[in-house]
Amino acid sequence: MASIPLNQLTIKQATPPQVELSRRLTWAEWNRGRSVEEYLRQDAEMDKYSFCTNNRYFTWVLVPRNEPDTLAFLSSCETYRRNVVVKHEEGAGGTTGYGIASVFTRPEFRGKGYAAHMMRLLHWVLAPHQLLPQFPHENWGPPPAQTFGDAAVSVLYSDIGRFYERCGPIPDAPGWTSTPRHSAIWTVDENGELSQLTQVRWLDEQLVEDFLREDDNMITKELNVSSDPEPRFTFLPGDNQVAFQIKRYLISLEDTKAEPPKVFGVSVPQSSLQASDPGSTGENDKSGLKSAFAVWTFEPKPLPSRLIICRLRVTPETFPSILDAAHSEARKAGVQIVEAWNLPEELQKVVESTGGKTVEREDHWPCMAWYGINAVPGSIGWRQTIKWTNNEK
């Protein structure tokens, strides 16, 4: 099949038929043992939650400009709008960022550069145009007609190495640059004992939401008062970032006979590690800010199955107790490893002393494209210097 010239292509929001076909096509890549019907049902269920509603989620397709609604689209991807806090020399402030997922090219169209071109055009959908170089009309034709134009940053997780670094807003410009991809991993002893910790507060979905709301406030306050001049940004864990991970897992269980877990996290008072009934409601601990805590989800597939910590706020002193509780829940769920991403340096000795190891992942590379804030063109220079903090699952 002959390639379509890039200047005849554009990216647009998918129509409902294009969305459904995109999901049917990606099933072949990411079904993890689910039938087409199960895969489509689970996506439809995810569409109902706040991380997808109110124009926060869209599917995009690369199409010939003169056939925008064609079902023979070339590539597709998804975007999720997320709140971001940026720390810069004038303080800390909120802005908008995007997560990008499910980048896919149909098998019959691969090897022609379509996915790379779709991703190059995606910058022009997300970012303020005044923060980007001049659009290359001669090579690419007109820019996309449908745009957001409010992104300070966009991120994705690459399973194909540095491919996305080559997908910049103009030819030969950098795109999404890779960031640290370290995983701390512990093997779960299936014959180990369940946690005997006292004054542990086990967190169900609602308590997870409560703790993360407090955590978002604390993250913002910490950035505001920080004397560290290094520019950096963070997504807010309580802004559906963690809820998405948990809900996706729970929905995946609905087509199985597995009993869903009730616990998705744990907190331990910073001031005390004494014991109490694991079923304690912890009524004396009214604020998540006074507690060390972890929140997690489960990934049964691909093997090895794992409990993945999505958000962690601990000290070296409280981390062992949090890990003990996570291992206990991992054994209950029958998963094989506990994993945490990009732990700070001060926790590395705890990783080693608790039998874990830190490795550099070969997949799920966190990658970022920084555009800038306040529509200041000079801020695009931050691309090389700004840091992505709280870069967890």
274-310 confidence digits (pLDDT tens):
333 233 333 333 334 578 999 999 999 889 999 999 9
Give the model's pLDDT for residue 277. Answer: 28
- Determine the length of the chain: 393
pLDDT (mean) for 260-266: 95
Residue bearing tokens 């895969």: 39
- Phi and psi at 368, nearest 5°, equal -135, 150
Calpha distance 393→366 (Å, rounded): 9
The pair of three-digit structure tokens given for residue 337, joined into one six-digit string: 């490893």
Instruction: Check pLDDT > 80 for residue 349.
Output: yes
Inter-CA distances, 374 with 90, 106, 139, 228, 233, Å = 12, 38, 29, 21, 14
Instruction: Check pLDDT > 60 for residue 377.
Output: no
Give the model's pLDDT for residue 180. Answer: 93
Instruction: Check pLDDT > 60 for residue 23.
Output: yes
Instruction: Check pLDDT > 60 for residue 235.
Output: yes
pLDDT (mean) for 258-270: 91
H runs (alpha helix) in 52-148? 114-126, 137-140
Instruction: Check pLDDT > 80 for residue 36.
Output: yes
H runs (alpha helix) in the chain? 16-30, 36-46, 114-126, 137-140, 205-225, 242-253, 319-333, 348-353
Instruction: Check pLDDT > 70 for residue 78.
Output: yes
Inter-CA distances, 23 with 30, 67, 163, 355, 388, Å = 10, 20, 23, 40, 30
pLDDT (mean) for 95-104: 96
Q: Do 79 and 119 meet the contact criterion of CB atoms below 8 Å apart?
A: no
Q: What is the dihedral of CA 314, 320, 323, 324, to 10 degrees?
A: -140
Best CA proximity match to 153, nearest among 378, 392, 367, 393:
367
- Phi and psi at 125, nearest 5°, equal -80, -40
Instruction: Check pLDDT > 80 for residue 197.
Output: no
Percent of the chain with pLDDT over 70: 90
Best CA proximity match to 65, nearest among 137, 161, 128:
137
Q: Do 210 and 288 meet the contact criterion of CB atoms below 8 Å apart?
A: yes
User: Residue 235 class from Cβ within 10 Å (0-12 exposed, 13-18 middle, 19+ buried)?
Assistant: buried
The pair of three-digit structure tokens given for residue 378, joined into one six-digit string: 């000079």
Cross-sheet strand order for the sheet of 337-341: 201-203, 265-269, 291-299, 306-313, 337-341, 182-187, 357-360
| pLDDT averaged over every residue in the chain | 89
Give the largest CA-CA distance in the chain.
69
Confidence of residue 334 (pLDDT cuts 50, 70, 90): very high
Q: When comparing pLDDT for 108 and 282, which is higher?
A: 108
Calpha distance 361→46 (Å, rounded): 27
Give the model's pLDDT for residue 372. Answer: 86
Give the model's pLDDT for residue 382. Answer: 44
Give the model's pLDDT for residue 281. Answer: 33
Calpha distance 119→124 (Å, rounded): 9
How many helices (H) and strands (E) are present in the chain, helices listed first? 8, 16
Give the model's pLDDT for residue 280. Answer: 32
Give the model's pLDDT for residue 273. Answer: 41
131-180 confidence digits (pLDDT tens):
899 999 999 999 999 999 999 999 999 999 999 999 999 998 999 999 99
For helices 242-253 and 36-46, the axis angle rounded to 10 degrees is 140
Give the model's pLDDT for residue 200. Answer: 85
Q: Do 175 and 369 meet the contact criterion of CB atoms below 8 Å apart?
A: yes
Distance of alpha carbon 128 from the chain centroid = 22
